[in-house]
């Protein structure tokens, strides 16, 4: 694992599309979990309103932004070519996301003592697990597409070479 010296802007431009899709997925997952948590607390009569307000939306967008910021920074500025380096990047990413998101929850709560409940930690871990599963299946889909594209290119190259050999 080392700092990337070249091609930072090209990598950032290449990451914009996938990261926007990931941002949208994170927003949807956080919204669903927020609604489920509010519904559950409402069923226990601990919470009276589970409508989504502007403050909730701004909180959800900030959570999604803080969830993607370490990923973008690590991909653009850090280069890892070994399995050990990739593992280190994943650990650093998880720790950075945890600190940013749970720190935001503690600050946003407004109590001033930087504390949050077990429900907040459970919600964070649930969101992180759901997003990790999405990223895993998305990576599998990308690998399948790349393999199909490589097969098509190889087939076209074989056709070109066979036509050249015939002539």
Which ranges of the chain would DSSP assign to H, the alpha helix?
8-43, 54-77, 83-109, 118-166
Q: Average of pLDDT values for 107-122? A: 67
Contact 50, 35 (CB under 8 A): yes
Cβ atoms of 104 and 63 closer than 8 Å? yes
CA–CA separation, 126 vs 49, rounded Å? Answer: 22
Residue 167 has a pLDDT of 65
Q: Among residues 90, 80, 70, 86, which one has the least CA distance to residue 4?
A: 80
The model's pTM: 0.67
Read off the pLDDT of residues 39-89 as tens digits, 9 standing for 90 and up. Answer: 777 666 655 566 677 777 888 888 888 888 888 888 888 877 788 888 888
Task: Please name the helix (run of DSSP H) or strand (run of DSSP E) that holds residue 78, with its range, or none.
Answer: strand 78-79
Query: What pLDDT, on the 0 to 100 scale, is given for residue 115?
Result: 61
Helix axes 83-109, 54-77, angle to 10 degrees: 150
Q: Kindly state the DSSP code that residue 44 receives in the 8-state scheme.
A: T
Query: How many of the other CB atoms lie within 10 Å of CB of 42?
Result: 13
pLDDT at 48: 57
Range with the poorest average pLDDT among 13-22, 39-48, 150-159: 39-48
CA–CA dist 25, 37 (Å, integer): 18
């Amino acid at each position: 694992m080392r700092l990337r010296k070249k091609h930072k802007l090209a990598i950032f431009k290449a990451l914009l599309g996938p990261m926007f899709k990931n941002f949208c997925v994170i927003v949807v997952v956080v919204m669903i979990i927020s609604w489920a948590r509010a519904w559950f607390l409402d069923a226990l009569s601990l919470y009276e309103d589970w409508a989504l307000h502007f403050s909730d939306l701004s909180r959800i967008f900030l959570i999604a932004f803080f969830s993607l910021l370490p990923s973008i920074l690590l991909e653009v500025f850090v280069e890892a070519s070994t399995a050990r380096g990739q593992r280190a990047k994943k650990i650093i990413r998880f720790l950075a996301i945890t600190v940013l998101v749970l720190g935001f929850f503690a600050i946003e709560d407004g109590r001033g003592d930087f504390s949050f409940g077990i429900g907040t930690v459970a919600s964070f871990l649930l969101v992180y697990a759901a997003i990790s599963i999405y990223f895993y299946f998305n990576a599998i889909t990308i690998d399948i597409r790349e393999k199909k594209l490589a097969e098509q290119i190889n087939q076209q190259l074989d056709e070109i070479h066979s036509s050249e050999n015939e002539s």
